[in-house]
């Protein structure tokens, strides 16, 4: 009897892809099969680069001058069929609304034991690599902010609500966040090559923006409080 297992698990959460993570994946897979081989493909700029082993990738990735937008790791395990048992782990910096940009796929033939073992070990490892901000950034802000914009503008035009600078400020901030979140919060942090420098600059810029927004909110609330206090007197 021939048993075919094809299991693909897509997710829209973002992940950090770095050397310790790749080394752990390789270690887990080699525990299941010492004969496992690996291949890495990355997309940067308009080019696709293929590496025949993780070691070659580590040595050569510094020569890639563009930001890596897609990273795929293939693991091939020996099989008694004409095809290798394959694990494909893909990270693609596409839209947060896409459910299939990041995925892990298992294609096994007559090897249910290794399939269950590897899935059991790799699933928590992947979960540990999830970027904390994707739980928030990945929410469906676009349809929500569109409805809020429409409601508030209609209410202001019809004079249902009084004009309020604080509400306007938050509305502007939310619209800017939705418009630029893919730039400020990359879907995945692929910690190799040009990505390392760019992500470091982005983190500094995000911290700067966060401090600026917090200070603006504090000043806005304080000025409103002071104004109300003076007005009462």
Q: What pLDDT, on a 0 to 100 scale, did the predictor assign at position 128?
A: 93
- How many C-beta neighbours within 10 Å does residue 52 have? 11
Mean pLDDT over the full length of the chain: 82
Q: What pLDDT, on a 0 to 100 scale, did the predictor assign at position 56?
A: 97
DSSP output for 24-44: HHHHHHHHH-TT-EEEEEEEE
**How many residues comprise the chain?**
233
Query: Which of the pair, 207 or 53, is modelled with greater confidence?
Result: 53
Using a cut of 0.85, tell me whether the model's pTM lies above it: no
| Tens digit of each residue's pLDDT (9 = 90 or more) over 112-169 | 889 999 999 999 999 999 988 877 777 777 777 788 777 777 776 776 666 666 667 7
Cβ 140 vs Cβ 97: under 8 Å: yes
């Amino acid at each position: 009897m021939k048993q075919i297992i094809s299991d693909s698990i897509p997710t829209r959460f973002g992940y950090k892809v770095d050397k310790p993570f790749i080394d752990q994946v390789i270690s887990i897979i080699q525990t299941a099969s010492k004969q496992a081989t690996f291949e890495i493909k990355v997309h940067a700029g308009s080019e696709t680069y293929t590496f025949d082993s993780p070691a070659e990738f580590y040595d050569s990735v510094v020569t890639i001058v563009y930001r890596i937008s897609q990273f795929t790791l293939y693991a091939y395990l020996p099989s008694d069929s004409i095809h290798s048992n394959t694990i494909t782990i893909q990270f693609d910096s596409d839209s947060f609304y896409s459910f299939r940009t990041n995925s892990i796929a298992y294609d096994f033939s007559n090897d249910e034991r290794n399939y269950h073992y590897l899935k059991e070990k790799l699933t928590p490892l992947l979960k540990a690599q999830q970027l904390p901000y994707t739980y928030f950034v990945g929410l469906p802000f676009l349809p929500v902010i569109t409805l809020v914009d429409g409601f508030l503008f209609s209410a202001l035009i019809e004079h249902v609500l009084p004009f309020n600078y604080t509400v306007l400020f938050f509305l502007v901030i939310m619209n800017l966040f939705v418009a630029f979140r893919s730039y400020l919060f990359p879907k995945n942090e692929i910690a190799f090559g040009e990505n390392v420098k760019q992500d470091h600059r982005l983190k500094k810029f995000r911290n700067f923006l966060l401090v600026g927004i917090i200070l603006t909110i504090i000043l806005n609330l304080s000025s409103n409080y002071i104004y109300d206090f003076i007005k009462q007197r």
